Amino acid sequence: MSRRLVIPSVIIFVVATGFILFLSPHNMRSVQAGFLGTISPFLKTGSSVDKKYRDFREGLKSLEQLEEENKRLVVANKEMSATNQTLRGLEAENNRLRNALGYRERAVFKLLPARIISRDASTWYNEIIIDRGAADGLKEEGDQAVLTEEGLVGKTTVVSDHSATVVLISDEACRVAASVEGTREQGVVRGERASSGSTPSIGLNFLSKEANLKSGSNIYTSGAGGVFPSGVLIGQVREFQKRVLDGHASVVPAVDLTTLEDVFVVVGDAK
């Protein structure tokens, strides 16, 4: 800054200071009021900016809290969904066991409850392994009917002390003497060969060609042969066909053989 500007600035500052010092208290207050009136808009602006800044900070804090709360709610919702699924599974299991127990109490023959403990993918529609054996009262020679409250499952074959193999009605080796409800037709139900990887079908063979069975007709065990007690539901007629020598009906099993968990073994003729 040049000397010509510095000297006048100093003189003005000294004069202003002296002027302020020699003012009366009344005049001093007037000067202060004028000064405050001059800078008041700037103070208000600064206060407004500061308020907006604080509001902005509070807003950021609220957003962070909302995000955190949302995360907690998402986790809680997933936990609740998992709990509900578990409870629904337990309810279904409880209902299934209650129905099975009720069937066991109503059955006219003695039943031994058993649980499936093994099943091979390569023989899925042929056999299952249950957790009951000779030590539990099963016959070592096998040939005891196995069923659920919904209908026939198969029969025991190989029996060890604490387990047994059950051949399913969808296997060709399992043959069941059967009769059709509301008719005099009788025949033999057995599994039928299917292409690799497909679900095997079940057929009722040796019917009369004039049987002309209706779709949906119930098929029951007839009791012939002594292995299967009479009156156990096997399934329903899907379709009837005339063949060269006899009639044939494709059958829909009463029991879903793919989802078996618990079964009963018939261990006596009557209670």
Tokens coding 209: 């060609």
Mean pLDDT of 227-251: 93
> 180-197 as b/e, with b when 16 or more CB fall inside 10 Å?
beeeebbbbbbbeeeeee
Q: Assess whether pLDDT exceeds 50 at residue 23.
A: no
Model pLDDT, residue 66: 74
User: Tell me: the pLDDT tens digits for 35-90?
Assistant: 555 555 554 555 565 666 566 566 655 767 777 777 777 777 766 666 665 555 55
Model pLDDT, residue 255: 94
Model pLDDT, residue 177: 96
CA distances from 243 to 24, 155, 249 (A): 133, 29, 10
Tokens coding 29: 């207050």
Tokens coding 152: 């026939």
Model pLDDT, residue 71: 77
Q: What is the mean pLDDT of the chain?
A: 78
Tokens coding 39: 């800078």
* Proportion of the chain above pLDDT 90, given as a percent: 46
Model pLDDT, residue 14: 47
Quote the CA–CA distance of 255 and 146 in Å, as a whole number: 11
Quote the CA–CA distance of 84 and 200 in Å, as a whole number: 36
* Sequence-distant (≥ 6) Cβ neighbours of residue 104 within 8 angstroms: 111, 113, 264
Mean pLDDT of 159-179: 95
- Least-confidence region, from 119-123, 135-139, 156-160, 203-207: 119-123
In terms of pLDDT, which residue wins out, 266 or 56? Answer: 266
In terms of pLDDT, which residue wins out, 106 or 71? Answer: 71
CB 134 within 8 A of CB 161: yes
Q: Assess whether pLDDT exceeds 70 at residue 21.
A: no
Quote the CA–CA distance of 216 and 235 in Å, as a whole number: 9
